[in-house]
A and B are shown apart, each in its own frame.
Chain A
Amino acid sequence: MVGLQNAVNNWPLAVAPDWPGNVWWHWVVFTLIIIVFFLFSVIMFIYMERRVLGKMQARIGPNRVGPFGLLQAIADAVKVLTKENITPTNADKIVFWLAPAVVFAPVLMVFAVVPFANGAVLADLNIGILFMVAIGSLSTVGVFMAGWSSNNKYSMLGAMRMVAAVISYEMPIILSVAAIIVLTGSMSLNDIVLGQQNYPYLLLQPLGFFLVFVAGCAEINRSPFDLMEADSEIVAGFHTEYSGMKFAMFYLGEYGEAVVMSTIIATLFLGGWQGPFLPPAIWLIGKIFFVFFIMIWTRTTLPRVRIDQLMALAWKFLFPLALINLFATGIEVLAFPDGIPWYFIPVNFAIGIVLVLLWSRLYKVGWGRVEIE
């Protein structure tokens, strides 16, 4: 009975360390579980995005295939699989074929370090968060490969924009994550989640949450920052020349990155698997979907920014605020080495709001756009 209780509490990676025999076969089983979970949540994300987007734009969204249109993503996948697979004549063939895999694989790898319950991690690396950040930005290489090998100016432009955006937006993400590491004193994601026993880091790091959310949206090309596939300017960006299954890989990778970014935010700021009553994994999944809901919400509402605005937002707004946030967190941790008391929650919110308001004074409508009379 106790074993059952443990299994329920630690679902889905319940009995991993105690399995008999060699370590490799339970590793294979749980890798499979994670891959299936990942693909399933990508499909659910696509469905949720299309339905919620539709609702928010006063439409209905897909509701024909299956109950409530749940099978729409599968129908799309079948359609895209049966399409012709075109490779441009002057494309760099090997790189062209390799790029979708290079985009997709790192996205999947990030889930190796995400804890689904206390200790239920595929690989509890002591540098988990470093691994996450490093692997997470690897897919940019794949995007650039796609843009370069397509031998198409729009693909190249989209890929260049992607690289510029990711390099710029890594900076505030890493600095905000550094503030979390300062708070926890550990880079292991399991320890970071355990450190949120009393209250989630959202309350201690409201500004950090804001920065990571905005920069995260930019890094995974979600709508206010989806310049690399701005269809009104550069057709479809780096995947202009792709069709069939190779395009589907990019599409999956795009939503996979959204899953990963939601997972990172849910783990770092919303307390990961922590939560009462329900099993931990359910809490984590719920939080992932909540973060993704906010992403959909901003996507529906906000129009696309210009490339110079994208850069200005990263370097003039998010970067200095992230530095100040790291500095303030450092002072707080130095002042209260045994844990930051609860009355710092409103103080942190006040610091965040005041900083955002102060920095907003540096911006004008149009962000330096010059009108030619």
Chain B
Amino acid sequence: MNNYGKGIIKGMRVTLKNLFRPSPTTQYPEQKLTTSRRIRGTELVWDGEKCTGCATCARSCPQGVIQIQTRPGAVNNDPSRYVVDKFEVDSGYCIHCGLCVEACPYNALFLGYIFERSKYRRGELVMSKEDMSIAKETPSGYYHPELAEKLPPQTLLVDREKK
């Protein structure tokens, strides 16, 4: 005894169940999910206090988009540091690989937590050191577990289903 429409009934049960389930769709501009704590967001975050101007990040960059210009001169009476005149990243070329973050010996460079950085003009994609300042931007926990701990946990669709 087969082919009497058992499959049809099974399928109709699935669709009926979906009718009474909350939709997993997120209405993006109004509703936002919390992103991963280790997200490689769309900009770099630069800590001017910690940066010594060693340019390790610039060398590690596979795209060569980090431009750094330094001159000798004690910062905070520390003779081993350079004055960083210019620290500029053209984020249009950045591939968010995170190698610069991993390379930085002084933990002065982080990837950003924000992902909504679309611009209307290409020129606006070039970020100066003020744009990347840690005072303004939240660093993501990428390569920095101690930062990741402080960020809110990611929203999972599995959790929304339970509510």
Contact = CB atoms under 8 A, between A and B. Distances in A.
Nearest to B8: A302
B12 interface: yes
13 contacts: A52-B19, A54-B23, A55-B19, A56-B18, A58-B23, A58-B25, A63-B27, A297-B15, A301-B8, A301-B14, A301-B15, A357-B4, A360-B5
Contacts of A54: 23
A54 B23 CA distance: 9
Nearest to B21: A58
A79 B31 CA distance: 28
A58 B14 CA distance: 10
Interface string B1-17: 10111001001101110
Contacts of A151: none
Contact of A55 (B3, B12, B18, B27): B18
B12 A58 contact: no
Contacts of B18: 55-58
Nearest to A296: B15
B5 A55 contact: no
A56 B16 contact: yes
Contact of B4 (A52, A298, A360): A360
A253 B1 CA distance: 41
B24 interface: yes
Contacts of B16: 56, 297
A120 B16 CA distance: 36
Nearest to A356: B4
Contacts of A59: 23, 25
Interface in B12-56: 12, 14-16, 18-19, 21, 23-25, 27
Q: Bin the interface of chain A by size.
A: 20 to 34
A58 B4 contact: no
A364 interface: yes
Given A297-B16, A357-B4, A361-B3, A55 B11 contact: no
A364 B19 CA distance: 31
Nearest to A299: B15
A89 to B, nearest CB: 43
Contacts of A344: none
B54 to A, nearest CB: 51
A300 interface: yes
B116 to A, nearest CB: 20
B12 A60 contact: no
Interface in A345-368: 356-357, 360-361, 363-365
A56 B15 contact: yes
Interface in A270-292: none
B5 A356 contact: yes
Given A298-B12, A301-B8, 16 more contacts: A52-B19, A54-B23, A57-B15, A58-B21, A58-B24, A58-B25, A297-B12, A297-B16, A301-B11, A301-B12, A301-B14, A301-B15, A302-B8, A302-B11, A357-B4, A361-B3
Contacts of B27: 60, 63
A361 B1 CA distance: 7
B88 to A, nearest CB: 41
A239 to B, nearest CB: 27
A169 B12 CA distance: 23
Contacts of B15: 56-57, 297, 300-301
A52 B11 CA distance: 16
Contacts of B8: 301-302
A56 B25 contact: no
B11 to A, nearest CB: 4
Contacts of A300: 15
Given A58-B23, A59-B23, A60-B25, A365 B12 contact: no
Given A300-B15, A302-B11, A60 B3 contact: no
A56 B8 CA distance: 15
A59 B15 CA distance: 12
Contact of B1 (A55, A297, A298, A357): A357
Nearest to A64: B27
Contacts of A52: 19
Nearest to B6: A360
Contacts of A58: 18, 21, 23-25
Contacts of B12: 297-298, 301
Interface in A297-316: 297-298, 300-302
A364 B12 CA distance: 21
Interface string A59-76: 110010000000000000
B23 A60 contact: yes
A86 B21 CA distance: 43
Contacts of A360: 3-5
Contacts of B3: 360-361, 363-365
